[in-house]
Amino acid sequence: MSDTTRSSRTVIVTGAAGGLGRAFAEAFARLGDLVVIADIDEAGALRAAGELTAAGLRVVGTGVDVTRFDSARALASFAGDAGGGTIDVVVNNAAIYATLTRSPFAEIDEAEWDRVMAVNLKGPWQVTRACAELLADGARIVNISSATVMSGSAQWAHYVASKAGVIGLTRVLATELGPRGITVNAVAPGFTLTEASHGLIADAGSYGVDRGAIKRAIQPDDIVGTVLFLASPEAAFLTGQTLVVDGGRQFL
């Protein structure tokens, strides 16, 4: 996709104070888009936005609780005001991940289950419906799922179930928003080396590498290209799909 012939877009990335979300935000900004970094950690969102702005990119930050519609609606209004009234791309990336502990399904705390579902599954629904009226015709929505859905990763039932729900939500949204030319797709990354992943597993750099067709760890940049593609004009006829980006650790 050429960045010399396209007009600037307004892009929302949730959960973008760090990790994959920040990588997505920076990549869109480097294409010339106006990017709204949104995160439950408002200070972190503002800090990330300030750092990218200092690098000459068009980025603004704001806080959001994706589990609350009023907060998601405030985010949509903030993005619309910043970008001239419409929203062109939404990347639903916010999720609970690094703070989870692995437990057999029968031992998962009910409150933790509910919180994971609220953020990981309810969140994309809340943000998308809050943005719906401001979405430009032909807008792009990219939901971040997980390759753990395909493997059924043991002792992580709440996380896997929430990310499986994201795939189902993606298909419904694609059907309902398709008449407006809006595409909705999901990306399912494998275990990717972010600061959160390093905190979750001691040997994160080698985890799963032996199972991949490509024998190396997954880096954030490996996921970024797929998200940019799904948000591009070249993907205008691709919708309701889930792309697994894991270096061939599992084939569907």
List the catalytic residues. 159
Q: What one-letter code names the amino acid at 13?
A: V
Q: List, as one string, the DSSP characters of 37-74.
A: EEES-HHHHHHHHHHHHHTT--EEEEE--TT-HHHHHH
Give the C-alpha separation, 177 to 137, whole Å. 9
Asked if 10 and 88 touch (Cβ cutoff 8 Å), the reply is yes
**Residue 107: HSE in the Cβ half-sphere, 13 Å Cα cutoff:** 8
Q: Which amino acid is at 114?
A: D
Question: What tokens appear for 12 in the block?
Answer: 């929302």
DSSP 8-state class, residue 180: G
Distance CA 225, CA 231 (A): 10
**Helix and strand totals (H; E) in the chain:** 9, 7
Kindly give, in sequence order, each residue whose CB lies less than 8 Å from that of residue 149, ignoring residues fewer than 6 positions away: 160, 163, 164, 167, 188
Q: Which whole-number Å values give the CA distances from 73 to 19, 83, 165, 227, in the listed order? A: 24, 15, 22, 23
Residues 150, 252 contacting (CB under 8 angstroms): yes
> Cβ(148)–Cβ(159) under 8 Å?
yes
